[in-house]
Structure 1
Amino acid sequence: MPVETIVRLAARGDGVTESGRFFPLTAPGDSVTETGEVAPGPHHQAPPCRHFPECGGCQLQHVDDATYADFLKDRIASALAQQGLSAPDILDPHLSPPRSRRRTSLKAAGGLIGFNAEASHRIVDMRECHILRPELFALVAPLRRLLKGRAGVTMTLADQGVDLMLEGVSVEGLEATEAMIAFARDQKLARLALDDGYGPQTLWEPEPVTITLSGTPVALPHGAFLQATAEGEAALVAAVREAVGDAAIIADLFAGLGTFALALSGKVYAAEGARDAVLALKGAGRGIFADHRDLFRRPLDVAELDRFEAVVLDPPRAGAKELAPHLAASTVPRLAYVSCNPNTFARDARELVDGGYRLLWVKPVGQFRWSTHVELAAAFVRP
C-alpha cells in the first residue's frame, strides 16, 4: 500500500505529509500508510510519561529535542510569513529541561488531581510528571488526600518554598481552619491562600513570600505572573539585554514584577497594569520608576516614547496592538519584544516594520517543554 513520510509538525503538533495529510502523534521522518499505520523514524522517541498522550499538559513528548527546536522556529517563521515578513535570523531555541516548571495550575475533583485531558474538562489523575519541579509534584499526593470536592490548585515555587492557592475552597469553624493550617505546616509551605470566589485570602504565611529576580527579592502577590521556568527566564533576560545594548534610559512596558526592569542597567521606567505587581516592584528598592498604567487603554504616545533610548515590551497573548502604532511612529532606536504568541507578535512586527524598524533576530524559548506553546524574544532597530 502507498506510504508517505511526515515532513513537518503543524501548529497543533500533528505530523504533516508532503501531500498535506495530517497524522496525530507522528514525527518528521515517520512513515505512514493509507490506513494510518506508523513506522517510527529517526526523530520519533519513546514518551517518558505514562499519561501521554491522554494528559493535556504535553503534546509533543514523542519527538526528539532537535525536532522540537525546529517546531518552535517553524512556528515563528510561519507566523511572520503570514504577515508578509521574511524570517530574520532565528537563533537556536532555548529548551527548558524536564522537571523545571516552577508554576502550574491543576484541577481537583472526586479524589483526582492533575491536568485536564486534551480538549476536555476530564481530569487525568497525576501519578507522575516530567515537567513540574519535584517540589511541586511532591504536593500532588497530599493534596489528593486533602481535597474532597472540586478545587483549582495553583502552585508557584517561591524563595521560601511552595506558594499554594486553592480556589473554590473555604474553611468553616476553628477545627477546619486548624486542620488546613496544620497541612500547610506539615508540607512546609511558604504560603497557603484560599479563594472561595471573593479573592485570595492568606491563611498561612510564616514569613513574607518573595521571588528573586536578577538577584533582587521581590514580594510575590497572589496570582502574579512569573516566567514558567528559571532557565527560560534567564534566556529571555539575556536576549533582552542583548537587544537593548548600552541604552541608558529604558522603558519596560507590561513590566510585571520586574523580570526585565531589574535586569537592566541605567534608568528604567516600568509600566504595569496590575496594582499589586507595581507595589511589589516599588518595594524592591532598586530606584526603578514603577507606574501603575493600563497600557491597553492608555498606551504611551509618541512624545512619551521618544524620551527613551530603548523600549522593552512583554505583553500578554493579545499582543500590543494599541501600543504598536505609537512605537512605529516613534524614534526609539532599539526595541526588545518578548512574546508568548507568535501570531500577535507577527501582527505587531508588521506594524513596526511598516513604520521603519528592522527585525534583526528572534530567539525562540521553549519553557513549556513538549507543548505547542511558543515564546520568544526579538530585537528591532531603526536603521
Structure 2
Amino acid sequence: MIVRVAARGEGVTAGGRFVPLAAPGDLVESDGSVLPGPHHQVPPCRHFPECGGCQLQHLDDESYAGFVRDRIASALAAQHVPLPDFAPVHLSPPNSRRRASLSAQRIGKRVLVGFKQERSNRIEDMRECHILRPELFALVDPLRRLLATMLPERRSATVKMTLADQGVDLLIEGVSADTLAAVEALTEFAQEHSLGRLSLDDGLGPQTRWEPVPVTITLGGAPVPLPHDAFLQATADGEVALVQAVQASADGAATIADLFAGLGTFALNLKGRVYAAEASRDAMLALKAARPTIFAEHRDLYRRSLGTAELDRFEAVVLDPPRAGAEAQVRELAGSSVPRIAYVSCNPASFARDARLLVACGYRLERVTPVGQFRWSTHVELAASFRK
C-alpha cells in the first residue's frame, strides 16, 4: 500500500518502493500496477502526466495538503528541529495562477506553446490548463498565430505572462520585430487582447513595445510600478495567506526589517516603521515610488548581510529569500536580540537548514503555515514564526 508521497511526487510503499502516479491508500499489485484507493482522483487535464506544469493531479485535496505539510515536517525532522504547531494547509484553487513562464517553438507551420514535459525539453502543446488564470490561458492560442509570423523554423522562444492591474503583462524572449509589418502585428495583438504591456527581449534586455499607461500591481493597497519580469507571488490568494501569517508574527512591532523585500509584498502590509532591503534595483525603486515612507535600501544581502548591531534596532524581522535560503543573513540573525522573526520560504530544505541555526541560538519555532500556491505541483511554500 502507498503510505506517503515523496518529494518528487512518487508514491512510496511501507517497504520503501517508489511508484509513479500513486496516491496514499493505493494498492500496488505484484506486477506493479496500481489499484486506486480513496485519495486517488481522476486527473482533470488531458495533458497530465506528460505536461511538466503539474505532477500531482492524481491526488485529492486531502492527500495533496498532506503532501505539502509533510514536505515541511520531513525537512525539519532531517535537521533535528522540533516540530512546531502547523496551521491548516492553504491550497490555491484551480485556475488561480497569475504568472507563468511558457515555452514556444516553431516546427514547420506549427507553433507549440506550453510547459515543457517532465524531465524533458519537449513542449507539451497546451490545449487546456487547469492552473492558469483564464486571462492568461486565453492568450495561448492567439500567441501561436502571432509567433507563427515571427519565429523562424526550429527556433524557440519563452513567453512570460503576469496578470497586472491593467491587464496581462506579456514578455516574449527570443524574438525580434525588425520590420514594419512585425511592429504593426505586435501593436494589433496588444490592442485586440487589451494587454497591459507587451515587451520583447531579443537578447539585449526587455524592450517595451506597448504600454498605454504605466503597469502596476497592487500590494497592500498601493499600486506598485511593475518592472519587467519582476517576482510576484504566484497566486493572489496564496499571497494573502502568506501576508496574514507574516502580519501575525510581526503584530505589535514598532520597528520592522523586511529583508529580500522584492516589490514590497510584505513591507507594504506591515504597520510601524519599516526598513526594506532588496538586491534588485528596479524592485527597490518601485517600492520607494509606491510608498516613500518606507526606508528602502538597494542592498545585496548575500554579499552584505545586516550585522547583529544593525538587526538589534528592530523588534521584528521578515525575510523571504530565494530558494537557496539565507544562511549568511540567518547566522547574523541568530546572534541578534531580535525577538520575532517571520521567515517565508519556497524551499523546505533550505528553510530547515536555516531554522536549525536559529533554534540552536535560542529561537523557538512556534508555528508554520504551509501554502500550496503551485497547485498539483511538488513546489511548496511556507511562512514560519520564530520567537526568542
TM-score interval w.r.t. the shorter chain? over 0.9
The Cα of 1:174 is off from its aligned counterpart by 2.0
1:322 aligns to what SS in structure 2? helix
Are positions 1:134 and 2:134 aligned together? Answer: yes
1:219 alignment partner, one of 225, 245, 255 = 225
1:120 aligns to what SS in structure 2? coil
2:26 alignment partner, one of 9, 25, 30 = 30
Q: Structure 2: how far apart are the matches of 1:351 and 1:314?
A: 16
For 1:269-348, list aligned pairs within 5 A: 269-348=275-354
Q: Structure 1: how far apart are the matches of 2:27 and 2:130?
A: 28
Q: Structure 1: how far apart are the matches of 2:33 and 2:353?
A: 39
Matched with 1:21 is 17
Are positions 1:255 and 2:261 aligned together? Answer: yes
Deviation string, structure 1 residues 238-288 (Cα, Å, up to 9, x no partner): 000001121010000000000000000100000000000010001013510
1:12 alignment partner, one of 8, 13, 27 = 8
CA contact (8 A) 1:314 1:338 kept: yes
CA contact (8 A) 1:90 1:363 kept: yes
Matched with 2:124 is 124
Q: Structure 1: how far apart are the matches of 2:179 and 2:34?
A: 58
Deviation string, structure 1 residues 35-58 (Cα, Å, up to 9, x no partner): 111111000000000000000000
CA contact (8 A) 1:262 1:286 kept: no
For 1:93-172, list aligned pairs within 5 A: 93-110=89-106, 111-148=111-148, 149=151, 150-172=156-178
The Cα of 1:141 is off from its aligned counterpart by 0.3
The Cα of 1:165 is off from its aligned counterpart by 0.2
Q: Structure 2: how far apart are the matches of 1:85 and 1:140?
A: 45
CA contact (8 A) 2:89 2:370 kept: yes
CA contact (8 A) 2:146 2:185 kept: no
Q: Structure 1: how far apart are the matches of 2:289 and 2:25?
A: 53
Are positions 1:58 and 2:64 aligned together? Answer: no
Matched with 2:213 is 207
CA contact (8 A) 2:318 2:343 kept: yes
Are positions 1:367 and 2:370 aligned together? Answer: no
When normalised by structure 1's length, the TM-score is: 0.98
When normalised by structure 2's length, the TM-score is: 0.97
CA contact (8 A) 1:100 1:133 kept: yes
Q: Structure 1: how far apart are the matches of 2:381 and 2:171?
A: 26
CA contact (8 A) 2:26 2:35 kept: yes
1:84 aligns to what SS in structure 2? coil
Q: Structure 2: how far apart are the matches of 1:244 and 1:344?
A: 22
Matched with 2:63 is 67
CA contact (8 A) 1:88 1:359 kept: yes
Q: Structure 2: how far apart are the matches of 1:176 and 1:146?
A: 9
The Cα of 1:75 is off from its aligned counterpart by 0.4
Matched with 1:39 is 35
1:338 aligns to what SS in structure 2? strand
2:189 alignment partner, one of 178, 183, 204 = 183
1:16 aligns to what SS in structure 2? strand
1:312 aligns to what SS in structure 2? strand
Q: Structure 1: how far apart are the matches of 2:30 and 2:274?
A: 59
Deviation string, structure 1 residues 131-168 (Cα, Å, up to 9, x no partner): 00000000000001111332100000000000000000
For 1:370-381, list aligned pairs within 5 A: 370-381=376-387
1:105 aligns to what SS in structure 2? strand
Q: Structure 2: how far apart are the matches of 1:259 and 1:323?
A: 20
The Cα of 1:22 is off from its aligned counterpart by 0.7
1:283 aligns to what SS in structure 2? helix
Q: Structure 2: how far apart are the matches of 1:13 and 1:87?
A: 23
Matched with 1:90 is 86
Q: Structure 1: how far apart are the matches of 2:91 and 2:115?
A: 22
CA contact (8 A) 2:87 2:368 kept: yes
Matched with 1:352 is 358
Number of residue pairs matched by the alignment: 378
Q: Structure 1: how far apart are the matches of 2:33 and 2:241?
A: 39
Deviation string, structure 1 residues 282-318 (Cα, Å, up to 9, x no partner): 1013510010000000000000000000000000000
Alignment-mate amino acid for residue 121 of structure 2: H
Q: Structure 1: how far apart are the matches of 2:172 and 2:226?
A: 16
Q: Structure 2: how far apart are the matches of 1:255 and 1:58?
A: 28
